[in-house]
Chains A and B, each alone.
Chain A
Amino acid sequence: MSGPPGEPRRVAYLYLLPGLVLFAAFVLAPLARAGWISLFEWDGVTTGTWVGLDNYEAVASEADLRRAFWHSAVLIVFYALLPVAIGLLLAGAASRTRVHGLAALRTIIFLPQVIALVVVAVTWRLIYQPTGWLGDFDLALPAVGLIGTWVAYGLCFVLFMAGVQKIPRSLYDAARVDGAGPLREFFAVTLPALRGEIAVALTLTTIAALRNFDVVYLTTSGGPGDATTVPALEVYERAFRTGEVGGAAAVGVCLAAVIFALSLAINQLADRAART
C-alpha cells in the first residue's frame, strides 16, 4: 500500500462492509422484495400472478389513490410548512430578546415530540369530540393537519433556537448599526444563517407528513367518506384488509419514491441557496 495519506484506498470499502451488510439486510432487501411483490397480483397466501406494471398504472389512474396523495400534499402544509413558519417566528422573536427560563420553555414546546403519536391521536380525538370537526367533510383534513402542526412546531423551534445561538452577535450589532429594523434583521441575518436547520426541519417534517398513518387511522380512519385518506392508510388497508398485497406494495414503493424525491429536492435547494 502506497500513496499519500488521505488518498482513497480500496481497503476503505472493507470498513464500509459491516454497515453495508446491515443496510442491505434490513433496508435494501425488504425494499427490493416490496418492489418485486408490487409486480404481482397477490393475496398473501396463494401463488401470485405476474401483472408487470399494472399495479403502478392503478396507482396513477385510481381516483381514490390520487385523492390520498393529494391529501398528503395538503398535510405537508400543516405538518411541515406551518411548523417551520411558527418555529422561525418564535426563534426570531427569541433571538432579539433575552428570554427568562428559556430551557423550561424549550422543554415544554418540545414535549409533543416526546409523546407517542398514538397517545397524541387518542387525546386529540377527545379534544375534537365536542366540535364535531373530525366528522365534517371540509374540516376533517385541516383538523387532522393541525394535530401535526402541534406535534412538529416544537421540533422546529428547538432546531432553530440552536441555530440562532451560533449566529455571531456581531452580525446583529452590525445590522443594527446599519439601521435595520426587526424585520430586516430577521431576513438579512437570522433567516440566511438558519438555512441548514430549515432544510433539516423541512426534511424531517415532510417525511412525517407523507408517511402519516397512526394519526389518521386513530382519529378518522380516513373518514368521513374518504376525506382524510392518505397513502400509508391505503397501503395498510390493501395489505391487511382487502388482500391486495401487490397493490399495497406498489403504493408503498410510490410513496417511498415521492419521499425520496422531495427530501432530495429540499436538500438540493438548501445547498444551492448556501452557495449563492
Chain B
Amino acid sequence: MRRCLVAVLLVLLAGCGAPGEDAPEAERGDAAGKVDVAAAGDVTLTVWDQEVRGGQRRQIQRLNEQFQARYPNVTIDRVAKSFTDLNTTLKLAVSGDEAPDVVQANQGRQVMGTLVKGGLLRPVDEYAEAYGWADRYSPVLLDLNRFSSDGATFGDGELYGLSQMGEIVGLFYNRDKVPQPPATFAELEQQLAAAKEEGDVPISFGNLDKWPGIHEFQAVQNAFTPADQVRGFVFGREGASFATPENEQAAAKLQEWAEAGYFTEDFNGVGYDPAYQQFADGAGPYLIAGTWLLRDLTDAMGDTLGFMLVPGQEEGQPQALGGESLPFAITAKSENPDIAAAYIDFITNADAAGVLADTGNLPAMNAPAQLSGAAGEDVYEAWRTLTEADGLVPYLDYATPTFYDTITSEVQQLLAGRRTTDEFTQALQGDFETFSG
C-alpha cells in the first residue's frame, strides 16, 4: 500500500515543471492606433471591472450603454467582481487562453507590476498619443499607472491603463463644530486641543481594520515631508529613504496626538465604520478619511458636512494623500486592442467625467464637473487645487509588496507607544531595503 502511495505521488510530480512555466507566451496583435470603431465589424469586448457599489455601478452601466448605443456593432460582455475577488482571480484570468480584453488592474507592484512582468498587459502609449490622454490627467496620476516593461520600475516607463475616479484623503469636518476651517497646521492643532478641552473627540478614528492607520500617518506626514520625497520613496527612485528627519517629525507628531487623546478612545480596537458613524453622529469636529465616504456622510449629515485638505505648515501648500481608482488596462492577449483602447478612451473623456459627477463620483480627469452637496463642492474644489498644484501624494503601501503589512502593523505600535519614532522609521526603511536588495 505504501509503495502504491509513493507511486501515485511520483506520477503526480512527474510532468510538473517550475510553476508558471507552461504559461504560453502572449502574442500581441498589431495596434493600429485610433480606429473607426463603427467600421470594425461585430466585436465582443470582455471587460472585467470591480465597479460594483452604488454610484460606481451606475456610472459604468450608463457608460457601457452609451458606448454600445453609439457603436451597435460592439457588444460589451461585462464581468463584475468585488475588489478582493478581482485581485485574487485576475492573475489566473489574464494568463489563461480566454483572457478578457479589458481589466481593472490595481496599481502597484502586487497586481499591475506582476502582470507587466509576466508580459500580460499591453502598453498603451501609442493610444495615449493618438487620443491625447496626457492632457487629460495630472502627471502623477499617469505615473501611478506606469511601469518599466520588465515590471521592475514603478511610476516610470510605459503607461498601462487609465483610471476614472480620483480620491483624496483629507479632513471631513462638522460645520457646527468648526465655524472657521483652519488655514495652517498650527491652527488645526489649536482647534484639536480646544475640542479636547470641551470633551469632544477631536478626530474620530478606528484602527481595528489596520489600514486606516496609513491614512492617519500620511495626513500628518504631508504637513512635514515634501511631496517629491514621498513619491521618490514610493516609486523606489535613486537615493530614496524612509528614515528622514521629516518622516520622523511626522511620526512624532502623530504619536503626540495619540498621547494627547486627540483620537477616539481605544482606537486600535474600534472598527472603521463605527468610527465614521460616530463622527456623523456629532462626536467631534474632524474625521480623517477618503472621499469615498462623501456619499454616505452627506446622506447622514447633509450640509453640515465639510471637506478640506489637511493644512500645511504655511497657508497655500496644497499637498495630500490621494490617488485614483483602479486603471482600466488592455490585456496582451486581447484580439481587439484598438476597440479596447477606444472603449477606455470613451469611459474617461470629458463626457464620461460628466456621467461620473452625475452619479456621485469624483472624476480624476481635468474636466469641469459638479458634485452635489456642500461637501461635494468642497471635494471638487480640493481636487482641482491639488491637481493644479501637482500636490497629490501616493499611498505609501505601494512602495514594496510587503509594505502594507509592515506599515499597518508599525502605525498601530507607534500609536500605542510601543515604538519610538526612530524604531518606526527604521522598521519601514528596513522593509524597503529588503525589497530593493
Contact = CB atoms under 8 A, between A and B. Distances in A.
Interface of A: 20, 24, 28-29, 32-33, 36-37, 40, 42-50, 125, 128-129, 131-137, 219-226, 237, 240-246
Nearest to A16: B1
Prevailing SS type, chain B contact patch: helix
Contact of A223 (B91, B274, B409): B409
B412 A225 contact: yes
A225 B88 CA distance: 24
B9 A224 contact: no
A37 B18 CA distance: 8
Contacts of A50: 18
A129 B18 contact: no
Given A45-B23, A50-B18, A223 B88 contact: no
Interface centre among A28, A46, A237, A246 (most CB of B within 10 A): A46
A44 B91 CA distance: 7
A240 to B, nearest CB: 5
Contacts of A125: 208, 271
Contact of B267 (A135, A219, A221): A135
Contacts of B207: 135, 223-224
A49 B19 CA distance: 9
B115 A45 contact: yes
17 contacts: A42-B20, A44-B20, A44-B114, A45-B91, A132-B265, A134-B208, A134-B269, A223-B207, A224-B416, A225-B409, A240-B87, A241-B110, A241-B401, A241-B405, A242-B110, A242-B401, A245-B19
B12 A33 contact: yes
B359 interface: no
B118 A46 contact: yes
Given A32-B9, A129-B269, A132-B269, A137 B409 contact: no
B19 A132 contact: no
B270 interface: yes
Given A28-B9, A32-B12, A137-B416, A45 B18 contact: no
Contacts of B16: 33, 36
A40 B16 CA distance: 12
Contacts of B418: 137, 225
Nearest to A43: B114
Interface in B103-131: 109-110, 114-115, 117-118, 120
Contact of A45 (B12, B118, B210): B118
Chain B residues touching A, range = 35 or more
A46 B413 contact: no
B18 A28 contact: no
A224 B207 CA distance: 9
A28 B91 contact: no
A225 B9 contact: no
Given A36-B16, A40-B19, A244-B401, 12 more contacts: A28-B12, A32-B9, A36-B13, A36-B19, A42-B20, A45-B91, A132-B270, A135-B268, A221-B210, A225-B418, A242-B405, A246-B19
Contact of B404 (A20, A136, A241, A245): A241
B95 interface: yes
A241 B401 CA distance: 7
Given A137-B418, A241-B405, A242-B401, A129 B8 contact: no
Contacts of B269: 128-129, 131-136, 224
Interface string B1-25: 0001100110011001011110100
Contacts of B12: 24, 28-29, 32-33
Nearest to B110: A243
Given A33-B12, A241-B404, A242-B405, A46 B208 contact: no
Nearest to B402: A242
A37 B17 CA distance: 10
B8 to A, nearest CB: 5
Contacts of A33: 12, 16
A44 B20 CA distance: 7
Contacts of B401: 241-244
Interface in B393-437: 401-402, 404-405, 408-410, 412-413, 416, 418
Contacts of A137: 413, 416, 418
